[in-house]
Chains A and B, each alone.
Chain A
Amino acid sequence: MSSIDVAIIIKARSDLAHRLGVDESEIGEGQVEQTDFPDASLGAPVEDEMSAQVITPGWRIRLKAGGDTYEYRATARQLRLVNFKGRNYRV
């Protein structure tokens, strides 16, 4: 699998800053790791979502803000925020 496109990380940072209502400069990058997710929803289905049951290679992106860690999951085609205030989101 190719390395992660920087644009995906930028998109995740921007999304998190927007959700938290803070400046992007306050979002710190934790780590990016390559992994296999259990399905096409990257193991993070949104409400009422069915997904293809195929192992999906992608990246787990952890970002830090205000002392908390937030998890995004990505492939080259999609980005998801995991368990943000109890819910998953397609970004």
Chain B
Amino acid sequence: MSATPVLDAEPFRDADLKKGSRFWLSPWHLVLLPIALVMVLPLLWMVVTSLQTLNETRHYPPTLLPNSLEWNNYRAVLQEAPFARWFLNTLIVTVVVVIGNLLFCSLAGYAFARIKFFGREVAFVLILATLMVPFQVIIIPEFLIVRRLGMIDSLGALILPNLAGAFGIFLLRQFFRTLPIELEEAARIDGCSRLGVLFKIVLPLSGPALATLAVITFMWTWNDFLWPLITIYNPDHMTLQLGLATFQGAHSSTTNLLMAANVLSLLPILVLFFVAQRYFIRGIATSGLKG
């Protein structure tokens, strides 16, 4: 069932890695160590600063090792801003959008891949066309439509427009077309409905493609900023990203609290990244090669 090597294989194989440990002294370390430091140092310094006192942050040269760990910074942040609420809002929006995309893009992707229906080609071309149009072109009318639907300043504004997308339909359609059609035909002859074929035969074989779509949609939705910025005003309805931006506006001088808030905002997605790193990498690699 391997459709493309990227979808099924381990994200990155290192056949030579297991053979020996004789590569300790490779000159490539001289290249990789500085690169890795540049990538990680800003994040580490964020964590260090989040545990400093305000005086330590206002010091030159910078305080690399704080005298004591100020865990109270985190308590202060949680008291001052509804981070739990923002986390919950983001989680609701992201989970609903991911599930919506998996469901609606599976249905549409399967129809476009396997069912011949009136207007199929026209509809598919129109959908693909939306992939080419940048977000800033549609943002003003999209705002007007969502306002007319009475959804401004509600989580619905973040959910409804994103429940299905051209990217997901295209990705799944391409994947479904690589599956052996004989299985589906046999099931149809045995009296299985189209819906039954999709859910009992096609989707169980499509784990890697569905995982890719889930990961990409998750990252887009979780980190989205411009759309929530335009549609949400009430702090109780904000997402983590928008909430953090307002927190930044109010606390630009208390750097230690700001960094603690930043750590809190990053914690969920970082934990998920380390738990499911393989799926993240595979999802990104696939989206790139398919794009």
Co-complex (A, B): no
